[in-house]
Chain A
Amino acid sequence: MTRDPSHLLPAAEPVALIDADGRAIKGADGTAYPAPDDAALVKALGALLTARRLNDQAYALVRQGRLAVYPSSHGQEACQVAAAQVLDEGDWLFPTYRDTVAAVGRGVDPVEALSLLKGDWHCGYDPHEHHVAPHATPLATQLPHAVGVAHAATLRGEPTVVMAMCGDGGTSEGDFHEALNFAAVFHAPVVFFIQNNGYAISVPLSRQTAAPSLAHKGVGYGVPGERVDGNDMAALLAVLGAAVARARAGGGPQLVEALTYRMQAHTNADDATRYRDDAEVAAWVERDPITRLRTHLLDRGLIGPEQLQDFAAEAERVATHLRDGLNRDVEPDPADLFAHVYATPTPQLREQAALVADELSREGAR
């Protein structure tokens, strides 16, 4: 065992392959991360456009009273798309409450994904169908689960890799530490993916950590860390793709920190002007992940107006599906209150269910 930690340290600068103007970064070919193939980039642009449309549609649906609240990932869509795109079908994704778009990227129906925020039921989708865990609302508690899913797969000799998502604030929680430590000790195939958007609601990163970067935290566990430009789709696909491939090949866990920015408030209930300047937000508009990738692909002649129209149409189709689904009122079944507490309801729960059924029957009789 080497005690030299250098192989665990992130590069001095975040990995970037395409600059803010959409140009391939000179010399980037020489990094450890070759650019993703063109088809993957074109596919990612389509997904990015759908992701943005979903974010903005969901945000609008809050204003229309169809969703209680929506923690938007507007501005962070490249992270969302990349996290889903680098996984194979048998892999698992563990999303936080801000990662609805990543869950949709794995195939979860957006209407079902937003059941939580519509108030119909906590988790509206079947986690086993697309291997997407329920949204984690408590911070970092999903990370030890991700390690467990990965370790179970290892024990059975299955090639599963788990993408465990987390925000910058979540890295302060004890479960972040315990999950990384467990993953390292058990050599679990987990990619810990931190979207560092600079704020935990209002609290800036400087109040979360004094570490040189969040990726540096991996050193303490023996987990390699890497930093990546979180608005650079190509760099994200390259870095996360390499981490997944490494984990699948038996290389163990990895920690990836993406530097990005939440363009909107924490949720629609938050007032971001109380803790950050307009100028700061404006600077990040210049680094928008969609503009960068679209410019890059147009400049290289990999897409044309027709392709963009197709992408826009697909995004609109998904938004319409979301709108229609959320505008449809489905009366929740009160029997569900008691049906899933245990595999078989206890005698006490059967009594309580009967009480509600009786209340309902008397209401109906009135």
Chain B
Amino acid sequence: MTAVAEPMTASPAKRVETEPERGTLSMAQALNRALRDAMAEDPAVVVFGEDVGALGGVFRVTDGLTADFGEARCFDTPLAESGIVGMAVGMAMNGMRPVVEMQFDAFAYPAFEQIVSHVAKMRNRTRGRVALPMVIRVPYAGGIGGVEHHCDSSEAYYAHTPGLHVLAPATPADAYTLLRAAIASPDPVVFLEPKKLYWSKGEVEMPSRAPGIGSAVVRRHGTDATLIAYGPAVPVALDAAEAAAREGRSLQVVDLRSIVPFDDETVCAAVRSTGRAVVVAEAAGFAGVSAEIVARVTERCFNALAAPIRRVGGFDIPYPPPKLEHFQLPGVDRILDAVDDLQWEQ
């Protein structure tokens, strides 16, 4: 029996809302809700990948979508990531808005050629005639005790590839906001979902009025130094700011939300307002996103800096086994030590 999808039937009734609905959701629930709302609004939105159907995804992000929208709208595929992304390219070429799930960060690598050579370049190759409105969702990064190949911070590979947008939410509200923005975007988006935050809860506004792709936000205001973080590092940076406050130091926290496009304006304004900065990221530091942030902020804000910008991040090693992973993850103490090093004696 082959899996023949039935022609699409009318989408479920549109949610008509005047006042935004609010609710406390986990990040996984917020992502699920974003997919549901997008699918309900636009019959061109289709969700597929490995185990996204009956199982609802290994992190349950696609829970109930097949049951509620039908096999044509949310379906399991053969276990082959290049095929999944490549098929999404074709569907996007032909009028659909595919949202595909890579089961884990390191399992997305078989799709790398499709992402780099086709997803990222199609608009450019065709001088804008073929757009690829598609989203590649990637559960990413560590901190969940995962065994090897389940914990990679792979953002630099995607951020280094022109033509992709790269987003990383740090709150359930942003998970909803940014996934809706990603699905609505005319450009392909690599959507990095911090695994360790899937179960974190927060208030979510639907529809969201928060800024979309390309906007960073200041999560906590402060006057002494700015911590720049994204994805799984944001709650850690907020914890560090809280600890620093108890020691009498006022730290500001910027959440990038969008790695590409990068919000130079918000980040630089925040750094200028404090004169000192530390970048916090889980990925290995060498040639990574954190290095790019330091370079571009230094280029733009050199005269406002009282000290070189420091980085706190993963070591330049393959992601360690669960019993050693706490050494790899940026923590409050390392962040505060880096802040202490920002030449306060001047």
Count B-side interface residues using an 8 Å CB cutoff: 55
In the bound assembly, the distance between CA atoms of A340 and B262 in angstroms comes to 18
Q: Are B261 and A127 in contact (CB under 8 A)?
A: no
**Interface range for A:** 35 or more
CB within 8 A of B125: which of A134, A154, A156, A179?
Answer: A134
For the complex formed, measure the closest distance between the CB of A221 and the CB atoms of chain B, giving whole angstroms: 10
Chain B residues in 8 Å Cβ range of A342: 123, 163, 165, 187, 261
For B91, list chain A residues within 8 Å (CB): 148-149, 151-152
CB–CB B7/A148 < 8 A: no
Q: Which of A165-194 contact B (CB under 8 A)?
A: 174-175, 178-179, 181-182, 184-187
Beta-carbon nearest neighbor of B131 in chain A: A343
Q: Does A297 contact B (CB under 8 A)?
A: no
Report the separation of the CA atoms of residues A223 and B88 in the bound assembly, to the nearest whole angstrom.
Answer: 21
A343–B187 CA distance with the chains assembled, in angstroms: 7
A175→B186 contact, CB < 8 A: no
Residue A128 at the chain B interface, CB threshold 8 Å:
yes
Do the beta carbons of A144 and B214 come within 8 Å of each other?
A: no
Interface of A is mostly: helix
A307 to chain B, nearest CB (A): 37
Most chain-A CB neighbours within 10 Å: which of B3, B96, B165?
Answer: B96
Q: Which residue on chain B has the smallest CB distance to residue A124?
A: B127
Evaluate contact between A145 and B118: CB separation under 8 angstroms: yes
Those of B1-33 within 8 Å (CB) of chain A: 1-5, 7-8
Q: Are B83 and A178 in contact (CB-based, < 8 A)?
A: yes
Q: Which residues of A contact B94 (CB under 8 A)?
A: 92, 148-149, 152-153, 160
Closest to A94 in B: B90
**Cross-interface CB contact of B3 among A121, A157, A185, cutoff 8 Å:** A185
Report the Cα distance A25→B168, complex, angstroms. Answer: 64
Could you give, for residues 175-208 of chain B, a 1 whenever the CB lies within 8 Å of some chain A CB and a 0 otherwise? 0000000000111000000000000000000000
Which A residue sits closest to B134, measured CB to CB? A148
8 Å CB interface, B214-271 against A: 214, 260-262, 264-265
Q: A152 to B126, Cβ gap below 8 A?
A: no
Contact of B7 among A144, A146, A156 (CB under 8 A): A156
| B122 and chain A: residue at smallest CB distance | A134
CA–CA, A347 and B261, complex, Å:
8
Output the nearest chain B residue to A345 by Cβ-Cβ distance.
Answer: B261
Least CB distance from A351 to B in Å reads 9
Query: Contact: A340 with B3, CB < 8 Å?
Result: no
B83 touches A122 (CB 8 A): no
B94, B96, B118 — most chain A CB neighbours (10 Å): B94
Contact sample, A vs B, 9 pairs, CB 8 Å cutoff: A122-B121, A128-B130, A134-B130, A138-B117, A148-B92, A152-B93, A155-B8, A179-B83, A347-B214
Additional pairs, 15, CB under 8 Å, beyond known A147-B86, A342-B123, A343-B185: A134-B122, A141-B113, A141-B118, A145-B89, A148-B87, A149-B91, A152-B96, A154-B4, A175-B82, A182-B78, A185-B78, A187-B3, A187-B4, A222-B2, A343-B131
By a beta-carbon cutoff of 8 Å, the part of chain A in contact with chain B is: 1, 92, 121-123, 126-128, 133-134, 138, 141, 143-157, 160, 174-175, 178-179, 181-182, 184-187, 222, 252, 336, 339-343, 346-348
